[in-house]
Amino acid sequence: MPRIPSKLSSLLQSLTVQLPVLLGRNLVGVYLYGSVTHNGFNPKRSDVDCLVVTRRDLSDAQLRRLGGWHAHMEKSNPWTSRLQISLTICRILYSTEKRSLTSKPAAAKWVIKKWPRRWTKIINQGLTYNEIGRESDIPLRPRN
C-alpha cells in the first residue's frame, strides 16, 4: 500500500469518526477504494475515492450537518477538496444503468438530470472540485 500523507490520514480519521455522528443509524458503512488503496496513488494528482452507503436518502438535517463538517474540514485540511463521495456514487449509478464506464464528471452530469433537484448543489460542488486541473475527466477504461 502506498504511503498516505498525514493530512489525508487525518481527514479519513475525521470522516470515519464524524459520519456515524452526522448520519446516525442511517449510515451503513464507509468504504475507501481506488488509487489510495493500491499502488496507483500519487499524492500530487490522485483524488480520494470513498463510498458512503446509507439506508435511505439523507434528510435535510443530515445534509446540513454533512455540509457543515465538509466546510469546517475544507478550511483546515487541503485533502478535503480531493475527497470524492458524491461523484463516486454518480459513477456507480451510471455504470449500473448504462452497463458501461465513464468519467466521474460525465456520470455526475447524467445523474443531475435524473435525481431530485435537491442533490444538484452537492453534485455540482463535487464537479467543481473534480474538474480543476485533473485527469479524471478521461473516461475510465477497464483493464484487460
What CATH number corresponds to the domain at position 39? 3.30.460
* Cα–Cα distance measured from residue 65 to residue 26, given in angstroms and rounded to the nearest whole number: 13
116 and 79 share a domain?
no
79 and 8 share a domain?
yes
Q: Give the pLDDT score at 14.
A: 93
54 and 100 share a domain?
no
93 and 71 share a domain?
no
- Calculate mean pLDDT across residues 5-33: 90
72 and 142 share a domain?
no
Of 33, 55, 84, at which residue does a domain stop? Answer: 84
E strands, the chain, are 27-33, 48-54, 83-84
* Cα–Cα distance measured from residue 92 to residue 31, given in angstroms and rounded to the nearest whole number: 14
Of 84, 99, 123, at which residue does a domain stop? Answer: 84
Distance of CA 4 to the CA centre of its chain: 18
Q: Give the pLDDT score at 140.
A: 34
- Calculate mean pLDDT across residues 106-134: 69
72 and 113 share a domain?
no
Domain holding 134, by residue range, is 88-144
pLDDT in tens, 75-104: 999 999 888 876 567 777 777 788 887 777
Q: Give the pLDDT score at 141.
A: 35
* Cα–Cα distance measured from residue 47 to residue 35, given in angstroms and rounded to the nearest whole number: 8
**CA dihedral defined by 34, 3, 39, 1, rounded to 10 degrees?**
-90
pLDDT in tens, 24-60: 998 888 888 888 888 888 998 898 888 787 777 778 8
Is the pLDDT at 115 greater than 80? The verdict is no
Number of domains in the chain: 2
Of 37, 59, 84, at which residue does a domain stop? Answer: 84
pLDDT in tens, 50-62: 878 777 777 888 8
- Calculate mean pLDDT across residues 68-78: 92
